[in-house]
Chains A and B, each alone.
Chain A
Amino acid sequence: MPALALPKTAAWLAELAGEPLPGRRQEDWRFTDLAPLQAVAAELWSGPDPFSQCSLPGGISRIAPAQAQLLLDQGLQATGSSTAWPVRLNRGASPHFLALRVSGSVEPLQLTFDAAAGQGLLALQLLLVLEPGASLELLLHHGSRAANATSLVTVAQLGQGAKLNLGVLAPGDARASLLSHLAISQAPASELQLTTAVGGWALSRFEPRICQSEGAALTRLRALQLVAGQELADTHSQVQFNGPDGQLDQLHKVVADGAGRSVFNGAVRVPRSAQRTNAAQLSRSLLLSDRARVDTKPELEIVADDVKCAHGATVSRLQQNELFYLQSRGIAVDQASRLLLRGYCDEVLRELPAAAASAHPLQLLLRERP
């Protein structure tokens, strides 16, 4: 069901962001209709602070507010995020703020942001500072059951040799919106694994921006986005190499069913200083219905000669030969499709932090009964 835009909400959101809502004439928002966001009530979400009950394992400490704000601003600037509309909106919406410093290797952590049946806009900010050599596995679990909106800005700084395994599991509601901006800076020898699995939102927009501040880091991105019904899922990723010997391995997977729309824009920027960068980006889209649409736009910008940058994209339905193989073993076509679809999704889902397993991500996102 298409969301009905409330003019009052649009004005309110524009006021929070200090800038009108982005429109289709802006290249970054060409395919992304913000109507579902405007269908939420023009008020801030009023439930308890989702961060207040968070118990922290040893090795993780809170950062004092003044310093946290400074680090957050620095982090946003490093990836050119400060002017992004979702970030401006988030800042204007008095976000709940959690700022953590991680030293050494710590126990896995999970944070749940469930807008549940609440009204209005839930705004959250998360700052993660990983000291050199620190290691963290973190799962962010989103949810909603009503026409509300969640806005999350995550800023992470990975020190030298630090490792961050960040998972985002976001099963949504067909009335709800999710705007998630991630600004991540990586020092040399750091390793980032970012796995996002999102599906079921009226509107979701992920904006991961990764900057290898001096190169020589490892970035591994895995994403799965599912749309059905009238849903729209959008990912605009950007990876910037500001020094030599950086590595990127990116896989973006899409399943588009019903009258859903999927948008993927993947920028990779390799300036002159980033010699010996090795970057690979693969985008794979499954189009399951003739009312669904997929828009894919990779952007590779390279100004260094000694680099390896490979990129690939495919859009198609399930592989006929794979289907046939299963059918020839006596499996009915529906069941065979299901099996293949599950396998297709599982390639990304199995890379989520271990804590995700108990939530049964495959069932959640494919909307199967457990």
Chain B
Amino acid sequence: MSTATVSDLVSQPYKHGFVTDIETEKIPKGLSEDVVRLISSKKDEPEFLLRFRLRAYRQWLQMAEPDWAALGHPRIDYQNIIYYAAPKQQEKKASLDEVDPKLLETFEKLGIPLSEQKRLSNVAVDAVFDSVSIATTYREKLAEHGVIFCSISEAVKDYPELVEKYLGSVVPGNDNYFAALNSAVFSDGSFVFIPKGVECPMELSTYFRINSADTGQFERTLIVAEEGASVSYLEGCTAPMFDTNQLHAAVVELVVLDDASIKYSTVQNWYAGDENGVGGIYNFVTKRGQCRGDRSRISWTQVETGSAITWKYPSCVLQGADSVGEFYSVALTNNHQQADTGTKMIHVGARTRSTIVSKGISAGHSSNSYRGLVQMGAKAIGAKNYSQCDSMLIGDQAAANTYPYIRSQQPDAVVEHEASTCRISADQLFYLQSRGIGFEEAVSMMVSGFCRDVFNQLPMEFAAEADKLLALKLEGSVG
């Protein structure tokens, strides 16, 4: 038998752990009404946004940090976090040539080339470094189609009426503790608007990079697809290795009108902490989409491999008749990582349909929970849900939990849920080995086979990347 064990296979050094040495403007640590005002004034925001932030801040003060997800972590000192950090450069540059080369280099090193010559030909990228967006590619080309793709700060300046109309309309400022915090202090993020009848001509992507230590990242993403519009959007994220924990509390809102669709994919690879659980990102994210229109569709696909703690439930509110919600998830935890993730499918309209496919892989001493809610409201006549939640356990120190809530008030709705638990069996490994396939490759084949239903949902360019990422993460862990 091979001396490499499946458990040895899971731990590969984090390869995005470098720090970019760049002059950064930071505001002092701590949170107060003054800090909220300072952030708003630094960004030169209109009055409505300041009011939105202050309202959320005051509500946040009244709220308590949730503890129901049973995620074990030391208390977060919210006064010990920097709420705004930006690389020092005066204005957002009109041309990429003027952007600090160190920043471009950073993103190139992460596999996200931004310069005209090297950028991906079929993907438009918004690059967010600490609290601000530093570059957005293909803006002009997209504008020809009427598609708006820019940082949310620019959107606030250039399209205030759209932002005012939709911001906070899906995730209200007081939705939950972390959403309230985000609403008060969010610094940047992406804004996408696809007008009526337009099929976005390329993939849109935002790449988030935390660079500074002790900085929280609170980005806000808002995507609106008008009647008959469609878009596929992908976000990626990495951070350097620090031995302190950093807080990431993002909010993503999606609005889909009649016959429109948004496909939202995430490959999350924040720094997860070291093998003893020191350091890493606390990833407390609120993502929600509203299918407001009839026959509208929202599809969430996520590959979650990073972060010390992940707390994330991308959800769909299916209001429009015949609207469709989908959630495809792979969550891999290793070492001392904790992931509590899943989705909520709230069926409001008639004949709404939802599909949930969740694949959890737990290795090391990690804990990986699926927590989901499928709710059939009184008017969801003929609605349907199908859920499948599978767990794979690697080693006997890891935990896999499944909490699938179902609530139904509608006899003409059908809810079906299936869950299973498996592991990589010695017999399967031997079978593959006896055909000449090496141990590590055999493990990686089985893990990606386990995740196949989800990877199939990712845009082509990213499916292979996700596969590789998983193989890297698993290196040294099976046995």
Contacts and interface: CB of A to CB of B under 8 A. Distances in A.
Task: Please determine if A and B sit in direct contact within the complex, based on CB atoms under 8 angstroms apart.
Answer: yes
Contacts, number: 118
Interface residues of B, number: 35
A298 B411 contact: no
Contact of A272 (B394, B396, B401, B409): B396
Given A303-B398, A312-B418, A315-B376, A287 B410 contact: yes
10 contacts: A272-B397, A293-B408, A294-B406, A296-B407, A303-B397, A307-B423, A308-B422, A311-B418, A314-B416, A314-B417
B394 to A, nearest CB: 7
B395 A315 contact: no
Interface string A288-307: 11111111111111111111
A74 B378 CA distance: 46
Interface string B405-439: 11111111111111111110000000000000000
Nearest to B369: A301
Nearest to A271: B399
A304 B393 contact: yes
Given A272-B397, A303-B398, A309 B403 contact: no
- A-B pairs, top 10 by smallest CB distance, nearest first, are A305-B393, A313-B417, A311-B419, A315-B415, A309-B421, A300-B402, A287-B411, A296-B406, A316-B414, A317-B411
B201 interface: no
Interface string B44-86: 0000000000000000000000001000000000000000000
A306 B395 CA distance: 9
B400 interface: yes
B433 to A, nearest CB: 19
Contact of B402 (A298, A303, A308, A314): A298
Secondary structure type dominating chain A contacts: strand
Contacts of A293: 407-409
B394 A305 contact: yes
Nearest to B424: A305
A315 B422 CA distance: 25
Interface string B111-154: 00000000000000000000000000000000000000000000
A314 B414 contact: yes
Contacts of B400: 300, 302-303
A314 B415 contact: yes
Given A292-B409, A315-B376, A300 B421 contact: yes
B320 to A, nearest CB: 21
A332 to B, nearest CB: 20
A81 interface: no
Given A295-B405, A297-B405, A311-B418, 8 more contacts: A289-B411, A293-B409, A301-B399, A303-B398, A306-B396, A312-B416, A313-B415, A314-B415
Contacts of B394: 305
Nearest to B388: A312
B391 interface: yes
A91 to B, nearest CB: 29
Given A293-B409, A313-B404, A300 B419 contact: yes
A215 B59 CA distance: 49
B411 A302 contact: no
A303 B414 contact: no
Contact of A275 (B391, B396, B404, B411): B396
Interface string B369-380: 000000010100
A285 interface: yes
Given A306-B423, A307-B421, A314-B414, A297 B378 contact: no
A311 B389 CA distance: 9
A292 B391 CA distance: 33
A289 B418 CA distance: 25
Nearest to A269: B401
A299 B414 CA distance: 21
A290 B396 CA distance: 45
Contacts of B410: 287, 290
B154 to A, nearest CB: 44
B162 to A, nearest CB: 39
Nearest to A307: B421
A42 to B, nearest CB: 34
A295 to B, nearest CB: 5
B241 to A, nearest CB: 28
A297 B414 contact: no
Contacts of A301: 399, 401
